[in-house]
Structure 1
Amino acid sequence: MTALPVATPVAPEAGACRVLHLEDSLIDAELVAAQLARAGVACAITHVETRAAYSAALAGGSFDLVLADYALPDFDGLSALAMARELAPDTPFIFVSGTLGEEAAVDAVKQGATDYVVKQRLGRLPIAVERALAEARAHAERREAMAALAESEDLHRLIVESAEEYAIFTTDLDGVVTTWNAGAERILGYAAAEILGRSAEVVFTPEDRAAGCLAEEMRSALTKGCGDDERWHLRKGGTRFWASGLTMPLRDRAGAVRGFLKILRDRTERRRAEERRALLVAELNHRVKNTLATVQSLAQQTLKSEPEPRAFAATFQGRLRALARAHDLLTREEWAGATLADVARAALAPWLDGKGGGGRLGLDGPELMLAPRQALGLSMALHELATNAAKHGALSEPGGRVSLAWRRAGPAATVEWTEEGGPPVRPPERRGFGSRLLGRALAAELGGSVELDFAPGGVRCAVRLPLVADTAPASAGHGGEPGTNRDPGPCGMLPEAGRP
């Protein structure tokens, strides 16, 4: 029989088994093909006779099964088996040999053969082939399943380790930590080596530990399938942070609970933002009420002092503008307070721009900070002093001048209003809006003292008030946070309003 130097390829039919048959006897090759065909095994057989053709076929083809004789002219069947295991390790390999003997068969199987069929019992070949193909399919399915599982585990591990915004860890049924991701280390501060084997209660606050919150979360997860909560937790250093969390039971394939999965997300900034928003809304509501009360009081007191409609409108509008300028100033500073110089310039703007004072009103003093309540009170007081000076005092005549000076005096500030060059001053016969504002209500609003002197040469007013660091007690109890300076208060001097 002439040996073929290369494989004789056969185009497979749909679903046919692709077989590489190494056989130096063409008659035996035909007998094998016939036996498989009679048994109904659909095969597309590629027949090779030499080592070179066999090697080339293995390297270049994709076969479902290798059949080989045990004894070959130019090399032995065990060498062929070794080549198949190297080039096609997952392909079943069956010896179809004329060599008898249990020893040969055992040796072949030990070295990796799937089966050993002797030519004298060729009727057993279809059964061996079908079994080999079934085992190969089962092995392939297991490999695919294992690969999918490994990929899934790798993906799960990648997700867990990459989710640095989330603290993800697991516990056993007693709440002892069993796994710990990088996000948990970043958020909670514990390295895995520090926390594994410890109770998850270490991340709960003392009050939640005492209340048994960890056990309650696990019970809730078992009852609902997934428990969610928001509470304070502890970092390694003892600092607290607000977190939203999920607790889920971990079950095995039989459905038995083996532990719990805990996922935490740091929500501290969101909670702080919500608290700030609630505080701002509360402050805004309080401020609006105060402003409305102030406007109502301004209207009532102005009506008392200016019953004639035209005079009432002018005076009332002037006071509203003064109040609006003070609010604008504080709003620009986010109601943290304002400097005394800014308060003075805002309150005295109509007389500083040359229209009313003609440059005859001078300001002098260092940068001193006032609380919002002080800024509003002083702004209204300066407006009343300037209005009175323009109507009756130094700013009512071309030669008159007004000086507003302030200085630091320890923990307090002294503010002095001095008029000169105006008409002779006569003390008022009755206490009006400005007199009561400056004499009693302003002192209470500013947390200091006020001295008003109707000297013949010009009105003088000296105000002493504590600086911002010393004004916290005065601002507490008016609707803002205790001990803060952000609440302007209800401007209580206004209901006592009158006119100098």
Structure 2
Amino acid sequence: MAAHENSTAARLLLLEDSALDAELICEFLRDIVPPPVIVRVSLRDDFAAALAEGGIDLILADFSLPDFDGMSALDMARELAPHLPFIFVSGVLGEEVAIESFRRGATDYILKQRLIRLPVAVERALAEAREKAERLRAERQKEVLVRELSHRVKNTMAMVMSLVRRTLVRGQPAEDYVANLLQRLGAMADAHALLFETNWSETDLLEVVRRTMEPYLRSGIGRIPTRSGPARLGNGEAEERRIEIHADAFVPLSPKPALALSMVFNELATNAVKHGALAHEGGRVVISWNEDAGEPDHIRIIWREIDGPSVERPEREGFGTTLIKRSVEYELQGSVTLNYRATGFLCEILIPKVIEL
């Protein structure tokens, strides 16, 4: 790295052909805490090799050298390691030469007759290099975050536009269209809120299910679990439980699959409330997941409706069904099976534990 923490000894590259002058320079630099590690070279090829090897924090260079001059050394350093501070330490350095050296990128110059200034100059140059490197890291991080935000906003807007278009059904009353659209947009907003709370890092499948089912639980169908692990949801401890969740495996989810599963569960819950088990008094929904016995690197999620009305496969596949299939197959790289059974609707989802983004 070009900049070290204050507690780490800096590595200085000293370009000096005089052994006596090199010894004096090293003696003055011992006042720095902690004392720097000094790598001394005197020839052009050795200087270039040391720069190429890296691990240097600052360069000290004489102006007059056996096989090339200090200005050439400065040009080489600016080309091979432009981030390194460069300080001339010379016996003679005229005003015009000093000005030209600054124009070409030198950090400072110290006369050998006044080496007492050297430790302060080196410490100041190292501190400025650390600050510059930190600013550069912050700027790069900002650029990454801006690009990531732009990408997420574009994806979100594309999904919103798709929902607006696909929710509309010819001949559908305007009130139904608005209600369905707001339902789906609300599910998306809730999923984004959960991801925001986790700083767009990993979240748990149980949290995704809880957040998605929360509107139905608030409506009196059930209560929200307060901890991970197997949970049953009902109107109360003494009342019949309408929604059950069996979290038999901890499933960490990155943002993309978390959002996709949130939309899937919202569609399943909406359908259950309108046409399935939750539309029928006494009907129940059981949601469970565990590691798949046949494919250990996959998670099997089961949505099972019990004691609801008899269901039949619809003649035409609606947008909700299409959204579920596309979310599972394309976003989650898995498979989904929808069973319209006389005893109740059943949805089985198989997704890999690790989803390639």
Same-fold call, TM > 0.5? yes
2:90 to 238, 241, 250: 250
1:416 and 1:436 mapped to 2: Cα distance?
Answer: 18
- Please say if residues 404 and 415 of structure 1, whose CA atoms lie closer than 8 Å, have aligned partners that are also in contact: yes
How much does 1:448 deviate?
1.0
Residues of 2 paired with 1:306 and 1:338: CA distance? 40
Deviation at 1:371, TM superposition (A): 2.3
Which residue of structure 1 lines up, in the alignment, with residue 271 of structure 2?
388
Contact 1:340 1:369 in 2 (8 A): yes
Q: Does 1:450 align with 2:336?
A: yes
Contact 2:243 2:286 (C-alpha < 8 Å) held by counterparts: yes
Does the 8 Å CA contact 2:14/2:41 hold for their aligned counterparts?
Answer: no
Worse-matched range after superposition: 346-355 or 313-322: 346-355
Q: 1:416 aligns with which of 302, 308, 311?
A: 302
- Assess if the C-alpha contact under 8 Å between 1:251 and 1:257 holds in 2: no
2:243 aligns with 361
1:321 is paired with a residue whose SS is: helix
Which residue of structure 2 lines up, in the alignment, with residue 295 of structure 1? 160
Partner AA of 1:191 in structure 2: V
- Select the structure of larger CA radius of gyration: 1
Decide whether aligned partners of structure 1 residues 163 and 304 sit closer, same or farther in structure 2, where only a CA change above 3 A counts.
Answer: same
Q: Does the CA contact (< 8 Å) of 2:261 and 2:327 recur in 1?
A: no
Q: Does 2:191 match 1:191?
A: no
Cα deviation, residue 392, structure 1: 0.3
Contact between 1:247 and 1:260, CA under 8 Å: does it hold in 2?
A: yes
Q: How do 1:14-25 and structure 2 match up within 5 A?
A: none
SS in 2 for 1:355: helix
| Contact 2:74–2:86 (Cα < 8 Å) also in 1 | no
CA distance, structure 1, for counterparts of residue 245 and residue 271 of structure 2:
18
1:204 aligns with 2:51: yes
Note if contact 1:167-1:185 (Cα within 8 Å) is conserved in structure 2. Answer: no
Give the match for residue 43 of structure 1.
none
Contact conserved, 1:322 with 1:379, CA < 8 A, in 2?
A: yes
Distance 1:332 1:203 in 2: 47
1:361 is displaced (CA, Å) by 1.2
CA distance in 2, matches of 1:336, 1:306: 42
SS in 2 for 1:395: helix
1:139-189 Cα distance to aligned partner (Å, 9 max, x none): xxxxxxxxxxxxxxxxxxxxxxx9989777753379x99335369896xx9
Secondary structure of residue in 1 paired with 2:168: helix
Q: In the alignment, which residue of structure 2 is the partner of 1:337?
A: 202
Instruction: Report 1:268-279 matches (<5 A).
Output: 268-279=133-144
TM-score (norm 1): 0.50
Q: Which residue of 2 aligns with 1:438?
A: 324
Pairing partner for 2:346 from 460, 463, 468:
460
Please state how far the C-alpha of 1:291 moved relative to its aligned partner. Answer: 0.7
Q: The residue matched to 2:85 in structure 1 has which SS?
A: strand
In structure 2, relative to structure 1, the CA distance for the partners of 1:374 and 1:254 (3 Å cut) is: closer
Measure the CA separation in 2 of the matches of 1:254 and 1:333: 60
* 1:107-122 equivalent positions in 2, closer than 5 A: none
1:164-179 map, 5 Å: 171-172=15-16, 178=22, 179=25
Letter of the 1:391 counterpart: K
Seen in structure 2, the aligned counterparts of structure 1 residues 338 and 172 have a Cα distance that, compared at 3 Å, is same
Q: CA deviation at 1:219?
A: 2.7
Alignment partner, residue 471 of structure 1: 355
**Match for 2:191 among 313, 318, 326?**
326
Cα distance in 2 between the residues matched to 1:283 and 1:254: 51
Contact kept? 1:419, 1:458, Cα under 8 Å: yes
Q: Which runs of 5+ in 1 are unaligned?
A: 1-161, 234-242, 476-500
Report the equivalent of 1:133: none
- Aligned pair count? 289
User: 1:245 is matched by which residue type in structure 2?
Assistant: P
* C-alpha distance in structure 2 between counterparts of 1:274 and 1:183, whole Å: 34
- Give a deviation string over 1:324-380, Cα, whole Å, max 9, x none: 111111112222221110111111111123435545111111321122211111100
Q: Distance in 1 between matches of 2:69 and 2:265?
A: 62
Q: Deviations over 1:181-233 (max 9, x none)?
A: 369896xx9634xx245655465234999xxxx9999437889xxx9969769
Specify whether residues 364 and 171 from structure 1 end up closer, same or farther in structure 2 by C-alpha distance, changes over 3 A only: same
Counterpart of 1:425 in 2: which secondary structure?
A: coil
Structure 2: gaps spanning 5 or more residues: 1-5, 99-107, 111-121, 223-234, 236-240
Q: What is the 5 A alignment of 1:90-105?
A: none
Shift of 1:430: 0.2
Query: Matches of 1:296 and 1:371 in 2, distance apart?
Result: 23
Distance in 2 of aligned mates of 1:282 and 1:302: 30
% identical equivalent positions: 31
Shift of the 432–322 alpha-carbon distance from structure 1 to 2, 3 Å rule, reads same
RMSD of the TM alignment (CA)?
Answer: 4.1
Task: Measure how far apart 1:249 and its partner are.
Answer: 6.3
For CA contacts below 8 A with separation 6 or more, give which structure has more relative contact order.
Answer: 2
**Match for residue 314 of structure 1 among 169, 179, 193:** 179
Cα deviation digits, residues 299-334 of structure 1 (max 9, x gap): 111123674221111111111110011111111222
Q: What letter matches 2:205 in structure 1? A: L
Q: Paired residue for 1:10?
A: none
Check whether the contact 1:393–1:422 (CA below 8 A) recurs between aligned residues: yes
Q: Which amino acid aligns with 1:471?
A: I
In the superposition, relative to structure 1, how do residues 427 and 245 fare at CA in structure 2: closer, same or farther (>3 Å)? same
Q: How big is each residue's C-alpha offset from its partner over 1:247-302, in whole Å with a ceiling of 9 and x where there is no partner?
A: 44635277798996674424554443333221111110000111111111111111
Whole-Å Cα distance in 2 between the matches of residues 197 and 306 of structure 1?
A: 84
CA distance in structure 2 between the aligned counterparts of 1:203 and 1:414, rounded to whole angstroms: 56
Q: 1:368 to 1:305 in 2, by over 3 A?
A: farther
